[in-house]
Structure 1
């Protein structure tokens, strides 16, 4: 494994699959003030405590029985944002972002973005202003980040190392 991609986290996420929140953050209970929660969208998001490039993130989520996160509508955006807001170290800036499964790797010349976890074209988006911009002609992977006090998406170089968000479509227990 590469540095920043710890094998003990694999065990932690496998325990998550058994409904024990050992590593990462997730939202699984209904708060009366919440507009949306994980039960509303039929999936749960897990924020990795470790970092990896886009491909490591994709591999890790898959090896843990999950998928790199897809966000396909406003309800899912609300749950994802709430999950990230529960992160006690949420910091401003793209370098502090979180990988999602969006990518234009299959169509780099046209920058058509698809969800790698589902193969579906990205219809709903939450791009930051002026994104995607494909800076340096090397930004083909989608990350979410806190920019100007708002969680938005941007295209990023797939080789960059950052945290990532996995999802599961099955909730196995009520916490």
Structure 2
């Protein structure tokens, strides 16, 4: 069992070297995602010349490997606000969210879950004229959310779709992040260690 632990530690050391290289390459890749650019801590794509309804916007973002934008904090919304103000884009923008399934309950179309963060404009959402889709708009230079009819034509804010980090044995090694790789390695070695209890150490790990 001592030999097993020694080999396990050596293997983890080799893994750490691999993981560092993998992380570097992955970061290098995300710094060069086209046409997405970094705005705040996330990557977005805004085609200022194209206006579409909400459904077309959703498909448009998906065609570029993204989703309609969503934000998880005030900081993310503020980053988008500052970008739009700096670009002087005078328009309304589609966001990921609707209450098509149940009136008044806005959920992310991407995840099917309630919105993580929202900042509604005054007296909204109000469902005037059957408003079921989520847009953001500048009100006195502040980016706020509003419900609006899904067939209105707005500019889409697309957000880069993060790689799937779900740990699965079906995924190739390079499609898993460091946490998944390490978790799978630990689980594999734990299984091997468990099997060692029913066999001789000399048989499993010869010393000569």
TM normalised by structure 2 equals 0.58
Q: 1:31 corresponds to which residue? A: none
CA distance in 1, matches of 2:86, 2:133: 24
Runs of 4+ deviating beyond 6 Å: none
The structure whose Rg is larger is 2
Q: 2:43 corresponds to which residue? A: 44
CA distance in 2, matches of 1:115, 1:159: 18
Q: 1:125 corresponds to which residue? A: 118
- Summarize deviations over 1:45-101 as a string: whole Å, max 9, x none: 21122110000000010111101101121122122212322323x22xxxx210001
Q: 2:33 corresponds to which residue? A: 19
Q: 2:58 corresponds to which residue? A: 58
- The alignment status of 1:142 with 2:137, answered yes or no, reads no
Count residues in correspondence: 132
CA distance in 2, matches of 1:112, 1:62: 24
User: Which residues of structure 1 form unaligned runs of 5+?
Assistant: 1-16, 29-36
Q: 1:159 corresponds to which residue? A: 151
- Relative to its length, the structure with more helix (as a share) is 2
CA distance in 1, matches of 2:124, 2:87: 24
* Aligned-pair Cα RMSD in Å: 2.2
CA distance in 1, matches of 2:131, 2:161: 28
Contact 2:133 2:149 in 1 (8 A): yes
TM normalised by structure 1 equals 0.68
Contact 2:45 2:158 in 1 (8 A): yes
Closer/same/farther in 2, CA of residues 66 and 118 from structure 1, 3 Å limit: same
- The alignment status of 1:112 with 2:105, answered yes or no, reads yes
User: Which residues of structure 2 form unaligned runs of 5+?
Assistant: 1-30, 164-208
